[in-house]
Amino acid sequence: MTSVAIVGAAETTELGRIPNTSQIQLHADAALNALADAGLKISDIDGVATAGESPTAIAQYLGIVPTWVDGTAVGGCSFMIHVRHAVAAIKNGLAKTVLITHGESGRSGVGRGGFRRGGGDGSLQGQFEAPYGPIGPPTLFTLPVLRYMKDFGMSHEQLAMVAVVQREWAAMNPRASFREPITVEDVLASRMIAYPFHLLECCLVTDGGGALILVSGDRAADFPTKPVYVIGCGESVETPMVSQMDDLTTSRAFRVAGAAAMREAGINHDDVDHMMVYDAFAHLPIYGLEDLGFVKRGEAASFIWDGNTRPGGKLPLNTNGGGLSYMHSGMYGMYALQESVRQLRGSAPAQVKGAEISLCLGVGGMFGASGCVVMSNVGP
Amino acid sequence: MPKGTRPVPQPTPETQHFWDGTREGELRLQRCDACAHVYFPPRPFCPKCSSREVSVFRASGKGKLASYIINERGHPAWDGPYSIALVELDEGVRMMSNIIDCPQTPEALVLDMPLEVTFERLTDDITLPLFRPLAAGGAQ
C-alpha cells in the first residue's frame, strides 16, 4: 500500500447559528453526511478520531466498534493531525476505514462540554498568564502582532487587507456567514476588540461541524467520490502559553509541521495550486505564508496587499472566506480541510481552475500547535 | 484598578519560590548551574540542558516592552481598556504582565520602552509582579 485517500468529506447540513442541535449531534450530523458522501454504512467504520468530544463519546453515540482511536486534542489543528495519524494507522493495518469528526456549538453553546479556560489555578497559564486579564483568544492570539509590525514594518492597513481579500472569496460562497464586500477603511473603522485588532480582523463565532473518511488508496476507486490523496503531513507543538513563544514573529510549530509535510509530499512552493491557512485572526495567514517559506520573512503582508492571494491571484488562499468570513466554530481546522477537499474534487463554490495540489495549514491554541496536510487529486 | 477580582494564582511546589519572592518584593528567576541558561516559568530543571542543578536568583526587575494588546472588551478587574503586555526582561526571559502608571493607549505604550517591575498585593499569599515605565516611576 502506497497511499491513503479521503473518500468521504462533508460539513454539517447547516452552518452558522444552529440553536436546535447539541455539540455531539453536530459531530454526528457531519459524520452521517460524510458516510452518505462516501456511500458507506456506520458498520464500515473501524477507526475514529476526534477532538472537542472524546473518541469514546463519538464511537458510542454513532454506534462504532473501533479497532483504532485517536483523541489528539491540541486545538483547532487537531483534525490535520488526525489525518496524519489516520494515514499511519491505515498504512500499518491498524484500521481500514477511519472517520474523523468535528462538531462545535461555538455560538449557541448547546450541550457543550467543559472546555478549560485559563482561570486562576495551579497550571502555569493559571499562574503566569490568567492574572493579567486575558479573556480568550482575542486577547492572547493577538499578542505577538505588534512585535511583528514593528520588526517588519507591517502597517495597520496591510493587516486589514487580509480580511478584505478573504471577503472577496466569501462573496462567491453561498454558505459563507459574511459575503458583503468590505474595504480596508471598513475594517479599520470596525469596533476595536483588542488593539491593534478590529472586529473584522477577528474570526466569527459560529456553530457547525465536519467529517472526513479515509481509506487505503488501493480502495479509492470503489467509492463514488473523486479521491483526494494525502501526499504529505506534518505536526508539532510549541507552547500552551503565547508569552513563551520562542520568537513572537514566527511560529515554530508552523515551521516544523509545514516543512515535514512539504518534504513528505516531495513538492516545492511552486507546486501548490491552492492553500488554506487557519485564520483565527488576520495575522495568521501572514505568519503561515512566511513560516512555510512561500515568501521571505517580512514579505507576506506585501504579497497579500499586491493581490497574490485574492481571486485570480497566483496563490489562491482561504478560498472559502476563512475563519474571518466563512465560519469559525472554535476549532476551525476541519473547515479548512473540507475546503481543500472541495477544491481538489472540483466542487468548491469559488473553484480554483485545475487545482491539483492543496496545502492546508492548521494552528492550535495560540500558536501552540500546528498540523499541515498536503493533498492531491492525482493518484500516486 | 479594583482589586480582588483578578484570577488568583495557585502556587505549586515548583513555583512557590517565585510567589514567595514577589510577596517579599523580589522578582526571582532561575539559572542553570550547568549551562547558565536563565529561564521562566519556574521548574526544578533546566529546559535547555535538562540538568536538575539549578539556582534561584533575584532578577534586576528591568526589561522592555516586547509586545502588547489593549483589551477593549472589559474585564471585571478593570474599569476600562487595559493592556496585556509581554515584557522581555534584561535577563533574557519573557513574561506576561500589565503596564501600570501609564495611559493605556497606543501612543503611551511604545514598543521597546524600558520598564521596571512593581508589585501589587492580591491576597496574603499572592503578590503579582506588574511593570511600569522606568522613566515615570524612577529607578530604584
Q: Which residue of B has its CA nearest to A192?
A: B72
Is the CB of B71 less than 8 angstroms away from the CB of A248?
no
How many domains does chain A fold into?
A: 1
DSSP state of A250: B
How many folded domains does chain B comprise?
A: 1
List all residues 6 or more positions away from B128 whose beta carbon is below 8 Å from its beta carbon. A131, A132, B6, B9, B22, B97, B119, B120, B122
Helix spans in B62-114 (H): none
Q: Give strand pairing partners of A250.
A: A247
Tell me whether residue B41 is in a domain: yes
Which residue from A133, A193, A195 is facing B6, i.e. has the nearest CB? Answer: A133
Average per-residue pLDDT in chain B?
Answer: 93
Per the domain annotation, does B5 fall within a domain? Answer: no
Interface test with A, best of B14, B15, B86 (most A CBs within 10 A): B86
Q: Is residue B117 part of a domain?
A: yes
Kindly list the residues from chain B whose CB atom is less than 8 angstroms away from the CB atom of residue A119. 7
**Per-residue model confidence (pLDDT) at position A112:** 79
Please report residues of B whose CB lies closer than 8 A to that of A122. 9-12
Kindly state whether residue A46 falls inside one of the protein's structural domains. Answer: yes
B61, part of any domain: yes
Cis peptide before B41 (omega within 30 of 0): yes
Classify residue A192: in a domain, yes or no: no
Asked if the Cβ–Cβ distance from B98 to A145 is below 8 Å, we say no
Burial grade of A193 (CB within 10 A; 0-12, 13-18, 19 or more): buried
Mutation pick from A192, A195, A202 vs chain B, by most beta carbons of B within 10 Å, is: A195
CA nearest to A262, candidates A234, A235, A290: A234
What cell was used for B136? 515615570
Residues near A353 by beta carbon (within 8 Å), at least 6 away in sequence: none
- Measured in angstroms, the CA of B124 and the nearest CA of chain A are apart by 16
In a domain, A93, yes or no: yes
| Chain A residues with beta carbon closer than 8 angstroms to that of B7 | 118-121, 126, 130-131
N- to C-terminal Cα separation, chain B:
23
Angstrom distances, CA of residue B15 to CA of A246, B12, B23, B40, B132: 21, 5, 13, 10, 24
A214 belongs to a structural domain: yes
Domain presence at residue B22 = yes
Task: Write the ipTM.
Answer: 0.92
Q: Is residue A301 part of a domain?
A: yes
Domain of B99? 16-135
In chain A, the largest separation of any two C-alpha atoms, in whole Å, equals 56
Smallest CA–CA distance from B64 into chain A, residue: A147
Tens-place pLDDT, residues B79-97: 999 999 999 999 999 999 9
Residue A73 lies in a domain: yes
Distance to chain A for B12, nearest Cα, Å = 6
Contact: A132, B98; criterion CB under 8 Å = yes
How many CB atoms sit inside 10 A of residue A304's CB?
Answer: 26
Q: Which residue of B has its CA nearest to A193?
A: B72
Residue contact B73–A193, C-beta within 8 A = yes
Q: Is residue A238 part of a domain?
A: yes
pLDDT at A380: 78
CB A229 within 8 Å of CB A189: no
pLDDT band at B139 (very low <50, low <70, confident <90, very high): very low
Regions of chain A short of the pLDDT cut 50: 114-118
Alpha-carbon gap, residue A78 to A333, rounded angstroms: 7
Contact list in B for residue A248 (CB cut-off 8 A) is: 66-67, 86
Per-residue pLDDT tens over the stretch A123-173: 899 999 999 999 999 999 999 999 999 999 999 999 999 999 999 999 999
Query: Does residue B48 lie within any of the structural domains?
Result: yes
**Residue A364 domain flag:** yes
**Domain assignment present for B123:** yes
Nearest-by-Cβ selection for A248 from B41, B67, B85: B67
Q: What residues of A are in contact with residue B10 (Cβ under 8 Å)?
A: 120-122, 126-127
A129 contact residues in B (CB cutoff 8 A): 96
For the segment B64-86, the average pLDDT, to the nearest whole number, is 95
**Looking at residue A121, what is its pLDDT?**
78
CATH number at residue A352: 3.40.47.10
What is the domain extent for residue A289?
4-111+204-376
Is the minimum CB–CB distance between B73 and chain A shorter than 8 Å? yes
Question: Is residue B55 one of the residues assigned to a domain?
Answer: yes
Pairing type for strands B127-133 and B38-39 reads: unpaired
